[in-house]
């Protein structure tokens, strides 16, 4: 009897979860299928979820637009630089915070967490002015620099919690063998931290890829636009063409999802450890 009630319990749970997942992922489902519909099926008062004729027409049009591949490339470059600089700088800092003793360590850890919670809107005005004074307005460099302010705190935080789980003996053994701190970091610590390193890389890449506010204020010319702003530009140009717009959204989301699926486990772990430490 007990196992029977357990079965029903599980079944109800599963059905509820399925309904909720369906409802919550519905906006994405609609966007995906809209992008696969021919124009006539997009603009109809009685939309069907699944397209009657699957077509890649929207995607073909999208990539034939002169500016779209440019937006993608810009975003890719900005995101890659952000990710690479983030991992370099944050792994050094996290290493020092975990394996070196010095005064003021607690304050630094706290300050890092404080900056992690810092809202973008507060930084956008002074950073805009700074970039203006340094002649960086409308450059990709300005974007990479500003993105560091959001990626670094999180990356240090995440790497720090991962490094703490590495057995001390490993690091000590390397030090006894005559490794310098730097060698120890690159030859011992980073190779055993591949999951955390990937998660940090992905996090900062995705941050650069999807950021909107700074890309919107710091970039002026069309040639330097990232995909987030590019999408907005497309809304302006092709106002009613939701087939094209959803196709662009899918293209923009694809790398994010792909990355996310590969590092999901570590990413989720790191996120939770970062905010609820038991």
What residues between 135 and 194 interact with another protein by CB under 8 A?
145-146, 148-149, 152-153, 156, 168, 172, 175-176, 181
118 near another protein, judged by CB under 8 A: yes
CB of 113 vs another protein, minimal distance in Å? 8
Alpha-carbon distance of 138 to 136, in angstroms, equals: 6
Q: Which is nearer to another protein, 139 or 149 (CB)?
A: 149
Closest CA to 185 of 201, 174, 200: 174
CB of 3 vs another protein, minimal distance in Å? 15
CB of 223 vs another protein, minimal distance in Å? 19
Structure tokens at 255: 């790398």
Instruction: Answer whether 233's CB lies under 8 Å from 222's CB.
Output: yes
User: Which range of residues in 12-20, 54-62, 65-73, 193-201 is near another protein by CB under 8 A?
Assistant: 12-20
Instruction: Answer whether 152's CB lies under 8 Å from 90's CB.
Output: yes
Among 81, 205, 209, 266, binds another protein (CB under 8 A): 209
Alpha-carbon distance of 70 to 143, in angstroms, equals: 16
Alpha-carbon distance of 143 to 128, in angstroms, equals: 10
82 near another protein, judged by CB under 8 A: no
Alpha-carbon distance of 57 to 41, in angstroms, equals: 12
126 near another protein, judged by CB under 8 A: yes
User: Which range of residues in 56-64, 65-73, 190-198, 209-217 is near another protein by CB under 8 A?
Assistant: 209-217
| Secondary structure, 3-state, 70-104 | HHHHHHHHHHHHHHHHHHHHHHHHHHHHHHCCCCC
130 near another protein, judged by CB under 8 A: yes
Distances (CA, A) of 73 to 127, 225, 274: 24, 10, 32
244 near another protein, judged by CB under 8 A: no
- Residue 240: CA atoms inside 13 Å, Cβ hemisphere, count? 5
233 near another protein, judged by CB under 8 A: no
54 near another protein, judged by CB under 8 A: no
User: Which range of residues in 51-59, 65-73, 186-194, 244-252 is near another protein by CB under 8 A?
Assistant: 244-252
Among 1, 2, 8, 24, binds another protein (CB under 8 A): 24
Q: Which is nearer to another protein, 121 or 191 (CB)?
A: 121
Instruction: Answer whether 151's CB lies under 8 Å from 207's CB.
Output: yes
CB of 200 vs another protein, minimal distance in Å? 13
CB of 13 vs another protein, minimal distance in Å? 6
């Amino acid at each position: 009897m007990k196992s029977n009630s357990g079965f029903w319990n599980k079944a109800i749970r599963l059905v509820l979860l399925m309904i909720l997942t369906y409802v919550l992922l519905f906006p994405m489902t609609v966007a995906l299928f809209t992008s696969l519909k021919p124009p006539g099926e997009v603009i109809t008062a009685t939309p069907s979820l699944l397209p009657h004729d699957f077509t890649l027409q929207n995607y073909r049009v999208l990539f034939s637009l002169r500016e779209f591949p440019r937006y993608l490339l810009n975003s890719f470059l900005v995101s890659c630089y952000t990710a690479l600089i983030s991992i370099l700088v944050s792994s050094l800092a996290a290493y020092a915070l975990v394996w070196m003793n010095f005064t003021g360590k607690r304050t630094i850890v706290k300050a890092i967490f404080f900056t992690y919670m810092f809202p973008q809107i507060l930084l956008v005005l002074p950073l805009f002015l700074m970039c203006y004074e340094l002649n960086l307005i409308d450059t990709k460099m300005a974007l990479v620099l500003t993105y560091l302010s959001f990626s670094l705190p999180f990356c240090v935080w995440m790497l720090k919690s991962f490094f703490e789980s590495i057995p001390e003996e490993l690091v000590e053994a390397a030090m006894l063998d005559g490794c310098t701190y730097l060698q120890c970091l690159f030859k011992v610590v980073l190779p055993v931290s591949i999951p955390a390193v990937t998660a940090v890389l992905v996090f900062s890449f995705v941050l650069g890829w999807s950021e909107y506010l700074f890309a919107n204020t710091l970039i002026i010319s069309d040639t330097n636009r990232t995909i987030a702003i590019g999408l907005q530009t497309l809304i302006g140009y092709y106002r009613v063409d939701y087939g094209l717009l959803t196709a662009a959204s899918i293209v923009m989301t694809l790398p994010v999802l792909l990355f996310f699926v590969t590092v999901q486990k570590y990413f989720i772990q790191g996120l939770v450890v970062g905010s609820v430490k038991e």
